[in-house]
Structure 1
Amino acid sequence: MDLLALADFTLVARHEGFGKAARASHRPKATLSRRVAELEAALDVRLFERGARTLKLTEEGRALFARTGPLLAELEETAVAIGSGGETPRGRLRISAPLLFSQTAMGRLAAEFIHRHPDVRLEVTTDDRMVDMIEEGYDLVIRVNPAPDDTLVGRPFLHDRLVVVAGPGMVRLAAGIMPAVVRGNDPERSWTVDTPDGPIEIAVNPVLRLSSLIMIRDAVRTGVGVAKLPLSLVSEDIDCGRLVPWGNVAKSEIALWALYPTRRLLNARVSAFLEFLRNSFPRAAPEELAAYLKR
């Protein structure tokens, strides 16, 4: 495959037109058009749908651009870094992070990272689904207890656990059903909780269903029911007596992973962010995240 033609195709796709690509690169529009046509002929597939005034990627064109665009950008940035004699993190870094971590910690972490690496343009989006990193153009994703994926590599940088909490006025019954605040359509009717006296079963009746863990925490503070929440989220409430812990939920270990595609070079931006996470939470313990949230 002609890499120059591939680079020209990527240029046109990125700028969504031959004219814009020609102006941005200071190259003749006819040359770019010829190169793309040669690439289409070599691949025996149409990459663009050409209208009178519009130019749109075909399905095959979108697939090719999603895979080659980031790779060519990596090569360009690597060449710039080598030419300047260093691997200083610079350029765009796109990260997808889960909702709760984004709401509680990611804003401050992102700002601290940019203070240290001002040449990076950091973009963070919030999404609890497992995004397609290649198709959607992410450099790094943060996920909670991700399923095994042969196309991704990474490491956990934080651990947490679920704890059952209630308002100080709520009495734990030896028998009977406790009113509970649960997330979404959680079907569980009982929770196994580890206590100093051994594991116990707490029967629950969901009286309130909420989609956000922060909303659940705020509701439980009023004494409406019990809930199971991450220790890091309720640590301050426990310390000041707003909430009372009843025990850890059995087998509720939580790990936050930083993941990136195996097919991509680990560029300076991703390496710098991974190192930043390690330095921010060196023991990867829930107490570290709780302390960070209290700052």
Structure 2
Amino acid sequence: MDKLKALQAFVLIVERGSLTEAAEALDSSLSAMVRTLGALESQLGVRLLNRTTRRLSLTEDGRQYLERARHILAALDDADRSLGAQQAEPSGTLSVTAPVLFGQYHVAPSVTSFLQRYPRMRINLVLLDRVVNLVEEGLDVGVRIGPLEDSTVVARGVGRIRRVVVASPALLRRLGTPKHPRDLAKLPCLRFSATDGVHWVFREAGHAFTVGVQGQLECNLSAPMLEACAAGLGFGRFLSYQAAPWVAAKRLRIVLGDYEVEPWPVSLTYPSARLLPSRTKVFIEWMVGELKSSV
């Protein structure tokens, strides 16, 4: 027996004063309504209604049960309405994290448009060039670039990002354009410690190989590395979105494109151990659509 449906049937029988009318209202049969009422009374061990050929009347137990049944159904209806309203107009605060430049270029504009659409929402946007633990740091949603090794999060893919080698036009005129990644071993390179060390990985004929690189500068942030690269200090390797404005401005050029490794995935992540609030679901769906169109 479906207890919720039985409660609904009992309340409706009393309100309509007729098993037949209650059955019609619930798009059910009279026999099914009689069975539902009988099963409810059997489970409770009491008679709820006195039934004669002419009328139905509540017993004392029936009157007490009717009041509680109405309260339960009203509470469920309020809960449904509350969640429905929250889904239509989310409210509250979310903490969101993303890599610094990707956050500036892609996440922050999407967050702004989201907040304009949902004025009752607030977002704390944390931009960091390091891998964060969402649960330990109290974050609701993260944008992650690269392979995911954290099994405690759920990931929604939104795109892929290339890893590109770039150099300034002036440096290429002075030293020449490398024909193969191994040429970099003899050329000045800038090491971006957030994604690469002293060995850069490339791919040729389906197989990966590494090239040892060296140079005068190593840094954990992309902005100063891009500035140094554009100034002609050496070759650099970056995620494509990091270098995109510089390439578009013709301050950097991409080289060795035929030897790039597989693009890295871009994912929206959130803790798998939580039941997501409506506001988080709405935000995730918004960001999936925004990022898929921009990445």
Q: TM-score, normalised by structure 1?
A: 0.60
The residue that corresponds to 1:133 in the other structure is 134
CA distance in 2, matches of 1:173, 1:131: 36
The residue that corresponds to 1:182 in the other structure is 191
The residue that corresponds to 2:224 in the other structure is 215
The RMSD of aligned alpha carbons is 3.1
1:1-295 → structure 2 map (5 Å cutoff): 82-83=81-82, 85-86=84-85, 87=87, 88-169=89-170, 170=172, 171-173=176-178, 175=183, 177-184=186-193, 186-189=196-199, 191-192=201-202, 204-248=213-257, 250-282=260-292, 288-289=294-295
Give the direction of change, closer, same or farther, for the CA distance of 1:228–1:268 in structure 2 (3 Å limit): same
User: Percent sequence identity over matched residues?
Assistant: 24
Q: Tell me, what secondary structure is at the counterpart of 2:282?
A: helix
Structure 2: tracts of 5 or more residues without a match: 1-77
Deviation at 1:236?
3.6
Deviation at 1:155?
1.0
CA distance in 2, matches of 1:126, 1:200: 32
Give the direction of change, closer, same or farther, for the CA distance of 1:173–1:99 in structure 2 (3 Å limit): closer
Give the direction of change, closer, same or farther, for the CA distance of 1:108–1:189 in structure 2 (3 Å limit): same
Q: Tell me, what secondary structure is at the counterpart of 2:191?
A: strand
Question: Which letter maps to 2:177?
Answer: R
CA distance in 1, matches of 2:220, 2:229: 14
Structure 1: tracts of 5 or more residues without a match: 1-78, 290-295
**The structure with more strand, counted as a fraction of residues:** 1
Give CA deviations for 1:119-145 in whole Å, capped at 9, x if unaligned.
Answer: 111111123444343343222122222
Question: Which letter maps to 1:222?
Answer: A
Question: Which letter maps to 2:235?
Answer: V
Deviation at 1:81?
7.3
The residue that corresponds to 1:10 in the other structure is none
Q: TM-score, normalised by structure 2?
A: 0.60
Give the direction of change, closer, same or farther, for the CA distance of 1:90–1:246 in structure 2 (3 Å limit): same
How many pairs are equivalent? 205
CA distance in 2, matches of 1:81, 1:114: 25
* Contact 1:179 1:205 (8 Å CA) reproduced: yes
Give CA deviations for 1:126-175 in whole Å, capped at 9, x if unaligned.
Answer: 23444343343222122222533332212121310111111112213565
